[in-house]
Structure 1
Amino acid sequence: METRQKAPIGRPRGFDTDQALEHAMRVFWEQGYDGASLTDLTNAMGITRTSMYAAFGNKEDLFRKALERYTQGPASYGARALQEPTARQVATTFLNGAIRATTHPGCPTGCLGVQGSLAAGEPGRKARDHLKAWRNEHTSLLRDRLRQAVEENDLPSGTDPDLLARYLMTVANGIAVQAASGTTRDDLQQVVDIVLCSWPPPAVAAEVRD
């Protein structure tokens, strides 16, 4: 009679995976994909390379997970902006959120999604492509929300939602670069205030003004 051996029960991980991922996200955020060595990552996470591979996969897998955490955490202002009732409020929440996220005390300056792999060489190509897709996805979500605003007469009928979405994303990306260069929150807020001053009014308001 054949007997089957029970598979050994896996040992529980001796570390908090959520906390380890938080630390990894901050390393990628501050140093970029290429700049973050495995030693930097494992030291910050407080684990060995073997434990990192077992829990998160290779460096590229870890980067993807860190970006997901960043999207749901520091960059969650993007999702909140899409829920605002008017296009102007969408723009306001999006740009003000970009300022807060890129200049938050105790966090790296700039944006993981912008600077994470801009200088990545060939080994970081997949990470760079992943970030490009990440930025394009968020631009598309903004475009769809602004297209809805045009359909609801919340923006003038001649407004190009795609162009306006790219405009917002370009300003947000610029905010990230400037924040990483040391520009203060107050100075960045002045830039956003200028952008919002030129924001197109609702279609009805534009008709009344004309």
Structure 2
Amino acid sequence: MKLVVGLAGASGSIYAARFLRALSEIPGDTYFTVSPASLRIFSEEYETKVSNAEDVLDFIQQRWKPETKHKFHIRDFFDIGSDIASGSNSWDAMVVVPCSMKTVASINAGFTENLIERAADVSLKERRRLIVVPRETPYNRIHLRNMLSLDEAGGIIVPASPGFYQMPKSLDDLGDFIAGRIFNLLGVESELFPKWDPKK
């Protein structure tokens, strides 16, 4: 599995962290890029200090100590000449988690001023799976129209709205629910949350 993963500037760092933790234990390659806003929010929400993508990965490794089988290749958020800015390179899918409404709007409008937006644009034009995880509430009509238009263009919207039938015991359980739903959409089996069983 070869992915592009971007962290855009929205609250919900737990969703990114738990997805990356689980992804670390799956063989494959990921091109990883983070926005400055996402670094600020990650630092605030985890009460730590991360200054770049490497710091985010180091934090995840130190906090949860996953058995790392995955290779992460850091790409500069501002480098719109990066390899993942071109459709001549290939990847299986792209995930933006969490995804700001500004990023949703930019992708929807085809306005690509940074690497996350450009790689997302490439994913759509090359008919590759694009999964975005918006974390905003409430939605206004602009948000809803942008998400609907992005869905019509081939994107998949995964609202950061975890289910509670799993009887979560911690915030990490809520993060794992969304991470598990992302893996489902990537066609990857995971045990991040118990499947719904109506017989229980």
User: Which TM-score applies when normalising by structure 1?
Assistant: 0.23
Greater fraction helix: 1
Q: What is the TM-score when the length of structure 2 is the normalising length?
A: 0.24
Larger Rg: 1
Q: Greater RCO between the two (CA within 8 Å, min separation 6)?
A: 2
More strand by share: 2
